């Protein structure tokens, strides 16, 4: 794909996000002007955006409703989780915390989303965590971090995800 083509896809994608979902098909008809490949790329981004929004927002809402709060795991810094050495915290959310880690087997830096210990007990929440892992694994797009695997060690469950350096989404918005 050429750089100009990517810019066009990105431009239409961002414009489509501003259009109501029930009006997007009409918008895409006009914006893509019959270019089915262009439309498929934009629709793929839109579908990934919708899935990512569900992934990021739904667990937080559910957990806040249950009154579950974040727990600190600063004691994990420097510890080993399977083949991953925990380096530093990156952030925290409704389902747990995210750390920068080193994959000692493949010698690469990754992000690890660790499920809160409070959430490993209710089977439905653990299953939701696993569904999210499967969802992430099914997504394949340059603007979505890839999932490398699921890790469980010493009662800790974690998603191992591609580390994307740079500003957070909140900082960019």
Among 34, 66, 98, give the residue marking a domain's end: 66
Task: Please tell me the distance from the alpha carbon of residue 62 to that of residue 154, in angstroms, as a whole number.
Answer: 26
Per-residue pLDDT at 108 exceeds 50: yes
Q: Residue 155 maps to which CATH number?
A: 3.30.200.20
Regarding whether 147 and 84 lie in a shared domain, the answer is yes
Q: Do 97 and 41 share a structural domain?
A: no
Structure-model confidence comparison of residues 66 and 155, the more confident one: 155
Boundary (domain end) residue, out of 66, 93, 116: 66
- 31 close to 12: Cβ distance less than 8 angstroms: yes
If DSSP codes are grouped into helix, strand and coil, which group holds residue 155?
coil
Residue-level pLDDT at 103: 95
* Tens digits of residue pLDDT in 66-106: 433 334 445 788 888 889 999 999 887 766 788 999 999 99
Residues 79 and 115 in one domain: yes
Are 36 and 117 found together in one domain?
Answer: no
Checking if the pLDDT of 120 tops 60, the result is no
Residue 59 lies in domain: 3-66
pLDDT tens-digit map of 15-73: 898 899 899 999 999 999 999 999 998 998 888 766 655 444 445 444 444 433 334 44
Residue bearing the bigger pLDDT, 159 or 60: 159
Specify whether 88 is located in the same domain as 112. Answer: yes
């Amino acid at each position: 794909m050429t750089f100009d083509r990517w810019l066009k896809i990105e431009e239409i994608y961002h414009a489509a996000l501003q259009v109501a979902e029930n009006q997007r098909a009409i918008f895409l008809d006009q914006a893509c002007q019959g270019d089915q490949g262009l439309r498929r790329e934009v629709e793929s981004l839109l579908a990934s955006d919708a899935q990512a929004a569900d992934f990021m927002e739904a667990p937080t809402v559910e957990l806040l409703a249950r009154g579950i709060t974040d727990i600190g795991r600063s004691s994990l810094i420097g510890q080993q989780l399977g083949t991953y050495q925990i380096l530093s915290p990156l952030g925290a959310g409704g389902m747990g915390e995210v750390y920068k880690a080193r994959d000692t087997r493949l010698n690469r830096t990754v992000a690890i989303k660790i499920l809160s210990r409070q959430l490993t007990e209710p089977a439905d929440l653990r299953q939701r965590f696993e569904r999210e892992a499967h969802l992430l694994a099914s997504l394949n797009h340059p603007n979505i971090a890839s999932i490398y695997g699921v890790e469980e060690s010493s009662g800790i469950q974690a998603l191992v995800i591609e580390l994307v350096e740079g500003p957070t989404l909140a900082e960019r918005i």
